[in-house]
Amino acid sequence: MKRFSILSCVILLLAAALAVGSATFLGPCVHEDGSFGSCHWAGQALLGVGCALALQALLAMASRHRAGMFLGMIPTALLGLFLPGTLVALCRMDTMRCRAVMRPASAVLCGAILLLALAGALIESRKGK
Amino acid sequence: MDRRSLPLKNLLRRSARTAALVLLTAFLAFSVFGGSVVVASLQRGLGSLESRLGADIILLPSSAQSKVSFEKLFLQGTTGAYYMDRAALDRALECEGVEAAAAQTFLATLKADCCSTKIQVIGMDPETDFTVQPWIAQSYGTPLGEMDVAVGSKVEAAIGESIRIYDENCKVVARLAPTGTGLDTAVYCNMETMRLLLKAAENKGVSHPITSDSDDLISAIYVKVQDGADIDKVNSRLTGHVRGATAVRTRSMLTQVSDSLAAVSRTVTALIAAVWALSFVILLIAFAMMAGERRREFAVLRLIGMSRRMLSHMMLAESALASLAGGVAGLALGAALVFPFTTLIETSLALPYLTPSAGTIALFACGTLAVTVLVGAAASAWTAWRLSRVDPGTTLREGA
């Protein structure tokens, strides 16, 4: 029987929060004239990263090779960490939603997923020995 | 059996119980650390606002209903543009009791080239200004030149970069130190640059209603009162002497901010106290329940030769270890939620907010850890004393 993985569940929840949040309550503001800034695309990219991480977490739940699945989450979480502000430019005022909400929230969520994935990979690889 | 490793082994063996203790103490540490940092940041912000105001009286155009707008500009970075004639500066300087007066001109951009946010541009005369110029001088030693700008810490523009304001390119020559106030979202330039920007704004259809000559426009006059002079009297004199302007005492603005800050501090302190009281009671109950569960374990340990003192120490060490782990987790959670969201907290509270120095934060963290471990140990002390007095014979017979 497969063991239940609490870590995968927590990662799934965090990834879902990242995906749903970047499209809703954590997302960048909409410009008054209806145009999109680059922060909008950073939000869209985070939605993708969140979905990818959620899928990886689901696969980790079902997989026998959890250590590998957890290791695979690390680069995706790193991508989410560096997307807003580093890889994709944001608005140039710190008080704007993309800087005040989206970037710190994605940093906290992706940072937590990164740490949990590292811990998961370590635990699972020890169990395998 | 290594007696010293027993507390850790006990904690690891009963992982669910340990997790509950760690979670509870983590919540305790989070509330103390997060609350302390927020209150200290508000206090530092108020200090910063006091030093940045730097004037006793501020004269603003009466037409602007200016006091509220000015406070919003100072505290929240709301953009505002209101004007009076430059002659008001000369009239203010003529007034008895005035030691120095300096004018500033405000201009709100329609939107920056990067995104849809408006930016407040503040023009001042580096020769006479005694409020903003000392702050700029900390980051940029020479006076600002034509089309040079200094940007507040919340404006993301690198030194040497150009920012476009009303289609005019301005070169960023300095990034200013954070103040925790609305001034951090503004862009600063000298009066020559401001005149060019006002003309550029006119060309874009922005009208400055009081005069057609943008050379004559100013928005605020900062007044320093002579030593020994009665500030209230000078305030009344300025209101009477400078037509079309209202004099505002900076002290009244600071008092309002200080009152709001005190209210927020009181609320945060009350919340921390409530969380502490609740957590302490829950910890006491948890340890008391644990006492019943662990009587047989302690009786066996007594039988194999552990003294009462050793048992008490073991119990205290267990709770201290669990509290330490919870304290570290609470600190990590507090740091992850308070520091990245500084701007959000500042804008939500609409009060000056300046994060304390790294040394102060480290002190808060150490204090929080120490207090969390002490509370954990204190909550378990009574249980430890009770369990150490377990009569092994009776307990094991009862349980048999």
Residue at which a domain ends, from B200, B227, B251: B251
Q: B262 and B244 share a domain?
A: no
Residue at which a domain ends, from B189, B223, B251: B251
B382 in contact with chain A, both atoms CB, cutoff 8 A: no
Residue type, B188: Y
Percent of chain B, pLDDT > 70?
90
Which residues of chain B have a CB within 8 Å of the CB of A93? 112, 115, 117, 119, 154-156, 185
Average pLDDT rounded to a whole number, residues B145-154: 91
Residue at which a domain ends, from B251, B285, B319: B251
Q: CA B289, CA B270: separation in Å to the nearest integer?
A: 29
Per residue in A2-26, pLDDT tens? 556 889 999 999 999 999 999 999 9
Q: Write out the H or E segment, with its range, that includes residue B271.
A: helix B250-293
Provide the β-strand partners of residue A93.
Answer: B155
B15 in contact with chain A, both atoms CB, cutoff 8 A: no
CB contact under 8 A, B117 and A104: no
pLDDT category of residue B113 using cuts at 50, 70 and 90: low
Q: B102 and B219 share a domain?
A: yes
DSSP state of B220: E
B347 in contact with chain A, both atoms CB, cutoff 8 A: yes
pLDDT category of residue A1 using cuts at 50, 70 and 90: very low
Q: CA B190, CA B145: separation in Å to the nearest integer?
A: 7
Give residue limits of the domains in chain A.
Answer: 6-28+38-128
Highest mean pLDDT among A104-108, B208-212, B223-227, B287-291: A104-108
Domain range for B306: 3-47+257-399
pLDDT at B14 over 70: yes
Name the residue of chain A whose CA is nearest to B346's CA. Answer: A95
Residue B165 has a CB neighbour count (10 Å cut-off) of 23
Average pLDDT rounded to a whole number, residues A75-96: 92
φ/ψ bin of B239: left (φ > 0), alpha (ψ from -120 to 50), beta (otherwise): alpha
CB contact under 8 A, B114 and A91: yes
Highest mean pLDDT among B13-22, B201-210, B338-347: B338-347
Q: B330 and B202 share a domain?
A: no
| pLDDT for res B247 | 87
What's the domain count of chain B?
2
Q: Which of B72, B73, B111, B115 to mutate to test the interface with A (most CBs of A within 10 A)?
A: B115
Q: State the Rg of chain B over Cα.
A: 31
Per residue in B364-383, pLDDT tens? 999 999 999 998 888 888 88
pLDDT at B254 over 80: no
Residues 98-127 of B with CB under 8 A from A: 112, 114-117, 119
| pLDDT for res A129 | 63
Average pLDDT rounded to a whole number, residues A21-47: 86
Residue type, B15: S
ipTM of predicted complex: 0.86
Per residue in B209-238, pLDDT tens? 655 566 678 888 999 999 888 999 999 999
Q: CA B101, CA B91: separation in Å to the nearest integer?
A: 10
Q: B276 and B218 share a domain?
A: no
